[in-house]
Chains A and B, each alone.
Chain A
Amino acid sequence: MRTLAWPCPAPGGSGEEFALVAGPEDAAARVLLVPALFEEANKTRRLLAETMRALAARGVASVLPDLPGCGESLAPLELQDLDSWRAAVRRCARRFRASHYLAIRGGAVLLPRTAKGWSFEPVAGASLLRTMVRARTIAAREEGREETAARLLDLGRVQGLELAGYRLGARMIAGLERADLPKRSKRLVLTLADLGGEPLWRRSEPGEDPALAAALAARIAVEATP
């Protein structure tokens, strides 16, 4: 595994962002992993690192970028929206000369329309947002405060919102509400039901799932290798 810096003019950023890279540098099959969003990115990171190692063992190169405002990025998350993230994904794909994409969960809403590749357990922006808002209202209730999802979202669309420790700007909130999943052929949508495995992104302590990583890598390597 190595780190790649790639040029990325994200709002408030340093002009470059970082990514994790694995596999042969001259590989013909080059997969860009579009990470899950917010907390789910952390919860699936070990799964993805494991998947990248398994891909490398099959001769497939892969790259896992930090989206601007996430991970090692110096850009403030609050200034990002889905369009700045989509632009970052395109930039990273160009720099890495990606031949395919694998989007994880909410990462599916960032896929370029013509992207070749797969989405794994994709989830629409609105569903992700609903779960995060719900976690906040539940936490508030535990502390004896009453917050409603509708009121939080009204506020969020105007001045942004802090959800699960993430400071989301108004444009990010509005973008997530509208972000539907791209229509994709069934064959390109990978699910836990097909591959076997557990929804690590739901867990407080996700750990890893080596069998799932191996299944993901096997499926992708077969179809991505020319």
Chain B
Amino acid sequence: MRADMAQHKALGAHDDSAAQLRAILRDVLGLEPSQVERFNDRTELFGSLPELDSMAVAGLLTEMEDRLDIVIEDDEVDGELLSTFGNLLAFARAKRRR
């Protein structure tokens, strides 16, 4: 949590990564807004969301690239990255700072 706060600070007060990532997950997975609002760092994604098949994961990554203006390399994508909302958010923030 503290590491997350530090990253948040580095991006400045206007970091909208969490809101953007929630919107992307909602759009790609067809979830209810109320469901994605409840996502926290420990919310499990890959494996526990039946909507996430390999095509959906690929679409999710493409949407993240387009909307967050980042590039995701193939070798950065693994089970851990997609395991929780917190991991995916930390990854997105780290990418956007570059």
Give chain A's interface residues, CB within 8 Å of chain B: 39, 127, 130-132, 134-139, 141-142, 148-149, 164, 198-199, 201-207
Contact = CB atoms under 8 A, between A and B. Distances in A.
Given A127-B62, A138-B77, A203 B28 contact: yes
19 contacts: A131-B59, A135-B55, A135-B59, A137-B74, A138-B57, A138-B77, A139-B54, A141-B78, A148-B74, A199-B27, A199-B28, A201-B59, A202-B27, A202-B59, A203-B28, A203-B29, A203-B56, A204-B53, A205-B30
A134 B28 contact: no
Contacts of B62: 127, 130-131, 134
Interface residues of B, number: 19
Contacts of A132: 58
Interface string B40-78: 000000000001011111111111000000000010011
Contact of B55 (A130, A149, A164, A198): A164
B95 to A, nearest CB: 16
Given A131-B58, A132-B58, A138-B58, A202 B63 contact: yes
Residue from B28, B29, B58, B63 whose CB has the most chain A CB atoms within 10 Å: B58
Nearest to B74: A149
Contacts, number: 56
Given A198-B30, A203-B29, A207-B30, A134 B51 contact: no
Nearest to B52: A204
A36 to B, nearest CB: 13
Contact of B54 (A138, A202, A206): A138
Nearest to B30: A203
Contacts of B30: 198, 203-207
Contacts of A204: 30, 51, 53, 55-56
B28 A202 contact: yes
Q: Which of A139, A201, A202 has most chain B Cβ within 10 Å?
A: A202
Contacts of A139: 54
Instruction: Give the 7 A-B residue pairs with the shortest CB-CB distance, closest first.
Output: A135-B58, A139-B54, A134-B58, A202-B59, A138-B54, A135-B55, A202-B28
A140 B92 CA distance: 24
A207 B29 CA distance: 12
Contacts of B78: 141
Contacts of A205: 30, 51
Nearest to A198: B27
